[in-house]
């Protein structure tokens, strides 16, 4: 996350999942000494505003007031986590996906709930989710609780999905940072081909890939896991006892197209803990 500012952005809509995301984001910002930016998109265009409909001004005022109510409640929740946290709010007239993608250009991280309503309706169940995860410029955290509940785990290991791609290396870096900051062990999950003869080579390569990061983060206890399984199965299983799963948005080998197909959908919709999707860093 080189060159990024110290701001954690969280998209809100007043739903229960959104408030869970605010709590998670506020704790993250507090522990990393970052600022928190709370964002709510006013989708006026979708409601016909500006098209000459009767009562459009009244409708706009109602939507604006609702947005202000949402961000005020979110700010209050965040402040209850840390009263010294620097918090800013935004309620622009803009759709969720382009709004958050734009803000992600300089954000340390963008945080969203696993489902939503209002300005962020169906955020992680349709095109907005795919757009955000596929095009954001910063890591994206999707906040999920245990078995679809609002109970977000605060203990357990950080799990990293590893496949050897450049983006996977960035995910490893983020996973070590998260594990170190949370004082949690790191479980590195690597999917092997279905051939017995490559197991020893794969284990050696995995150990080499992690060695440099172990030197940088000597406080992190690491466990290497090699699985002959589909990536989605391996990571969903690991999420059962984890507090965070970290993956790259682009991969190769066992994680090819991870966030463009069934594996990505499985993680953001069914993982039993928050999922951090690490985007490729732009060149230069």
- Cα–Cα distance, 257 to 264 (Å, whole number): 8
Mean residue pLDDT of the chain comes to: 82
pLDDT band at 122 (very low <50, low <70, confident <90, very high): very low
- Cα–Cα distance, 57 to 104 (Å, whole number): 31
pLDDT of 254 > 50? The answer is no
- Cα–Cα distance, 132 to 189 (Å, whole number): 25
**Do residues 28 and 131 lie in contact, with contact meaning Cβ atoms separated by under 8 Å?**
no
The two structure tokens encoding residue 234: 């391996």
**Do residues 203 and 211 lie in contact, with contact meaning Cβ atoms separated by under 8 Å?**
no
pLDDT band at 221 (very low <50, low <70, confident <90, very high): very high
Q: What is the pLDDT of residues 163-210, one digit of tens each?
A: 766 777 888 999 999 999 999 999 999 877 665 556 677 777 788 889
- Cα–Cα distance, 104 to 48 (Å, whole number): 28
Instruction: Output 46 or 59, whichever has higher pLDDT.
Output: 59
Q: How is the chain split into domains, by residue range? A: 7-143, 158-278
Per-residue DSSP letter, 219? T
pLDDT band at 125 (very low <50, low <70, confident <90, very high): very low
What is the predicted pLDDT for the residue at 183? Answer: 96
The two structure tokens encoding residue 90: 């935004």
Fold that domain 158-278 belongs to in CATH: Rossmann fold (3.40.50)
Beta bridge partners of 8: 36, 109
Instruction: Output 1 or 69, whichever has higher pLDDT.
Output: 69
What is the predicted pLDDT for the residue at 88? Answer: 97
Q: How many CB atoms lie within 10 A of CB 199?
A: 13
- Cα–Cα distance, 178 to 216 (Å, whole number): 13
Average confidence (pLDDT) over 18-26: 94
Q: What is the pLDDT of residues 58-96, one digit of tens each?
A: 777 888 898 899 999 999 999 999 999 999 999 998 888
Q: Are strands 158-162 and 244-248 parallel, antiparallel or unpaired?
A: parallel
What is the predicted pLDDT for the residue at 44? Answer: 66
pLDDT of 217 > 90? The answer is yes
What is the predicted pLDDT for the residue at 96? Answer: 82
What is the predicted pLDDT for the residue at 72? Answer: 96
**Do residues 114 and 17 lie in contact, with contact meaning Cβ atoms separated by under 8 Å?**
yes
What is the predicted pLDDT for the residue at 4? Answer: 61
pLDDT band at 248 (very low <50, low <70, confident <90, very high): confident
Per-residue DSSP letter, 229? S
Average confidence (pLDDT) over 102-123: 75
- Cα–Cα distance, 171 to 160 (Å, whole number): 7
CATH of domain 7-143: 3.40.50.620
Average confidence (pLDDT) over 238-246: 95
């Amino acid at each position: 996350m080189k060159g990024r500012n110290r701001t954690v952005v969280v998209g809100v809509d007043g739903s229960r999942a959104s408030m869970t995301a605010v709590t998670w984001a506020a704790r993250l910002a507090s522990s990393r000494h970052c600022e928190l930016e709370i964002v709510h998109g006013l989708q006026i265009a979708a409601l016909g505003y500006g098209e000459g409909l009767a009562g459009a001004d009244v409708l706009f005022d109602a939507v604006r007031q609702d947005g202000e109510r949402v961000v005020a409640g979110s700010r209050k929740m965040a402040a209850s986590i840390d009263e010294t946290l620097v918090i800013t709010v935004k309620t622009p007239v803009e759709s969720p996906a382009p709004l958050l993608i734009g803000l992600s250009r300089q954000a340390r991280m963008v945080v969203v709930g696993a489902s939503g309503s209002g300005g962020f309706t169906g955020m992680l169940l349709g095109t907005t989710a795919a757009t955000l995860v596929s095009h954001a410029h910063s890591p994206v955290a999707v906040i999920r609780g245990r078995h679809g509940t609002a109970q977000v785990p605060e203990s357990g290991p950080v799990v990293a999905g590893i496949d050897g791609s450049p983006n996977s290396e960035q995910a490893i870096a983020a996973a070590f940072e998260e594990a170190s900051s949370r004082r949690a062990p790191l479980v590195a999950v690597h999917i092997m081909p279905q051939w017995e003869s490559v197991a020893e080579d794969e284990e050696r390569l995995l150990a080499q890939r992690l060695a440099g990061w172990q030197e940088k983060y000597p406080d992190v206890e690491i466990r290497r896991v090699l699985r002959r399984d589909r990536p989605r199965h391996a990571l969903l299983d690991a999420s059962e006892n984890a507090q965070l799963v970290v993956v790259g948005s682009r991969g190769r080998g066992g994680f090819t197209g991870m966030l463009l197909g069934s594996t990505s959908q499985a993680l953001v919709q069914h993982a039993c803990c928050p999922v951090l999707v690490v985007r490729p860093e732009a060149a230069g």
